[in-house]
Structure 1
Amino acid sequence: MKIGIITEERDWITCSLERVLIKRDITPIYIKPSKIVSFTGMDIKFKCNNENLLKLNCAFVRDLGDGTDYYRFDALKYLGEVMPLINPAEGLENAGNKYKTSMILDKNNIPHPKTIITEDLDKALMWSEKFKDCVVKPIFGNRGKGIIRLGNKPIINKINLLKEFKKKYGLFYIQEFIRNPNNVYRDIRAFVIGDKVVSAMYRTSNNWLTNIHQQGTGKPCEITPEIEELAIKAKDSMGLIYGGVDLMESKDGLKVIEVNGAPSWETLSKVSNVNVTEKLIDFVLNNVKDRYY
């Protein structure tokens, strides 16, 4: 049995997948997206380093890299038509585009912060004032990169920040800032596989950016029925097999901040007694072909 790991760069996650696959007597095949060759009008369809990708049983999708326009993602979509991908391209697209994520959450009545998406600087400024406190995020991106908080800054400062943001990203994705009722800076990362939250952690910080890559710290979090129900619903709405769902505590209950279709679980593994990699691989081996394809 052969299972692919699609990634431009190897990291803790890909190495963990490799170790557990070998432990299960499965051959891991690394696939660099930049090395994939596609064929049309021929018997063969996809190759990477002389490996016929259609001979793989399935493949984990971890990192497509920067890509060349849309080729890598288009190739992934077509590859997903002939073999199981973990996660499917459509799910990755839904979770990777914050606008699509918000629209899907809204359509499914899943609690999330009030959000405004606009290209208009004047409208962005107006809503930043109406919200009183808000964050502005790039519509594509992760690890907390590029996010700014406007808070109660003077108007001229907001204008300058929004102008710089517009110049760099072109589109404003503005979310009402959710204050934690416990007066702490933290959110919750719930890790969902199939129809179960297998582990969860608080991400805490001494400032409003709680992402682990922004100096946040992971701490164990009890999986409550509210966390379980909301995280599974959010993951399923995106069309994902597994995912990392970020939740924020508020005076009105939990709200979904983001859904990640290629989440890391390195920090989660350090604060949890659950082997997430083994849980994920075992679920894929037992369920993916029958339930998702």
Structure 2
Amino acid sequence: MSATPERPGGCGITVLASRVGADEKRLFDAFDRRGIRFEHVDTRRQWFVAGGRGLPRGLALNREIGQVRAVYAARCLTAAGVDVVNSADATEVCGDKWRSTVALEAAGVATPRTALALTPQAALAALDSIGYPALIKPLVGSWGRLVVRLADRAAAEGVLEYVAALPGPQSHLGYVQELIDKPGRDIRVIVVGGQVLGAVYRTGESLRTNVALGGQARPCEVTPEIDKLSVDAAAAVGADIAGVDLIEDRDGRLLVLEVNHRVEFTGFQSALASRVDVADHIVGHLLDRMRR
């Protein structure tokens, strides 16, 4: 890995990203405003030597969009003595829906009823137990891709017949979840360093409410319940920087759907009329980590 520019205290900041989007540009601007030099590393051109420890001790912000590259880059840098945010462990847990669910349940964080079936056939039995309507989701994925609403057993049989024909053993695992009768919205909360920066409601015309897919965002009051649930969820998966997705049932009870390790925040910040500078908070947290 190329040398990282030296910082006060002999540390360096590296930003790992193969794609520089609006969020990364906001982060770069935040570094510049604070007068902090940094190095952007495109992970598509990166390689590591096994056992190599020639990297300067410093800190890396992992903004890599590819899950596999993000995990392995974090593992390699950690082995070389670099502090990576989010950690490789957090990236792995957040990137796998079942591991996220297990971590949240272990921490006592409320989530929808969920099961993991090891075969498509077993998924039918799991769905019978959970009840219909329900959802089936891929273990790895973002932006709500390949999430399917199953109205009844006949629909499930059709989808699972297709799943059984997919290549690769991981594709045959069935992550199934109860469908929460939500009030047409979910809630995105951003947590940095154990602090909630704000929350927005996200609405859309389908199951997917992601702003990147055309969903609309508007401010949401951060209640004590939202604050605690979001901080607890980020801590459960070990994420310093997290996008926590909450959902309300018809009784107003809040549940955690998932925790995102590479949070997108431009739409979030716009919805809050720039009252919160997410990038600046992230940079501030990185500087705090470097001072430890």
- Aligned residue in 2 for 1:37: 47
- Structure 1 pair 120/269, CA: closer, same or farther in 2 (3 Å)? same
- Aligned residue in 2 for 1:101: 100
**Residue 85, structure 1, aligned to residue 95, structure 2:** no
CA–CA distance in 2 between the matches of 1:41 and 1:270?
Answer: 44
Check conservation: 1:20, 1:278, Cα contact below 8 A: yes
1:172 to 174, 183, 199: 174
Check conservation: 1:95, 1:261, Cα contact below 8 A: yes
TM-score by length of 1: 0.86
- Aligned residue in 2 for 1:140: 140
CA–CA distance in 1 between the matches of 2:57 and 2:32?
Answer: 15
CA–CA distance in 2 between the matches of 1:79 and 1:12?
Answer: 25
- Structure 1 pair 132/32, CA: closer, same or farther in 2 (3 Å)? same
CA–CA distance in 2 between the matches of 1:220 and 1:26?
Answer: 31
- Sequence identity of aligned pairs in percent? 26
AA at the equivalent of 2:278: V
- Aligned residue in 2 for 1:50: none
Residue deviations 1:191-220 (CA, integer Å, cap 9, x gap)? 001121111101111333222233321111
AA at the equivalent of 1:90: D
- Aligned residue in 1 for 2:190: 191
CA–CA distance in 1 between the matches of 2:65 and 2:57?
Answer: 18
AA at the equivalent of 1:11: G
CA–CA distance in 2 between the matches of 1:28 and 1:110?
Answer: 36
Q: Once the 2 structures are TM-superposed, how far is the Cα of residue 252 of structure 1 from its aligned partner? A: 6.2
Range with bigger deviation, 97-106 or 35-44: 35-44
Check conservation: 2:13, 2:39, Cα contact below 8 A: yes
- Aligned residue in 2 for 1:51: none
RMSD: 2.0
**Residue 214, structure 1, aligned to residue 216, structure 2:** no
CA–CA distance in 1 between the matches of 2:119 and 2:51?
Answer: 45
**Residue 159, structure 1, aligned to residue 157, structure 2:** yes
- Aligned residue in 1 for 2:247: 248
- Structure 1 pair 13/198, CA: closer, same or farther in 2 (3 Å)? same
Check conservation: 1:17, 1:277, Cα contact below 8 A: yes
CA–CA distance in 1 between the matches of 2:144 and 2:137?
Answer: 8
CA–CA distance in 2 between the matches of 1:43 and 1:140?
Answer: 31
More strand by share: 1
Residue deviations 1:130-173 (CA, integer Å, cap 9, x gap)? 41111111000111111100024xx4432111222343422111
Check conservation: 2:30, 2:280, Cα contact below 8 A: yes
CA–CA distance in 2 between the matches of 1:260 and 1:43?
Answer: 30
Check conservation: 1:34, 1:72, Cα contact below 8 A: no
AA at the equivalent of 2:215: G
1:280 to 276, 279, 282: 282
CA–CA distance in 1 between the matches of 2:89 and 2:261?
Answer: 10
1:74 to 72, 75, 78: 72
Check conservation: 1:185, 1:210, Cα contact below 8 A: no
Question: How many residue pairs are counted as aligned between the two chains?
Answer: 273
- Aligned residue in 2 for 1:48: none
- Aligned residue in 1 for 2:3: none
CA–CA distance in 2 between the matches of 1:167 and 1:196?
Answer: 44
Check conservation: 2:194, 2:234, Cα contact below 8 A: no
TM-score by length of 2: 0.87
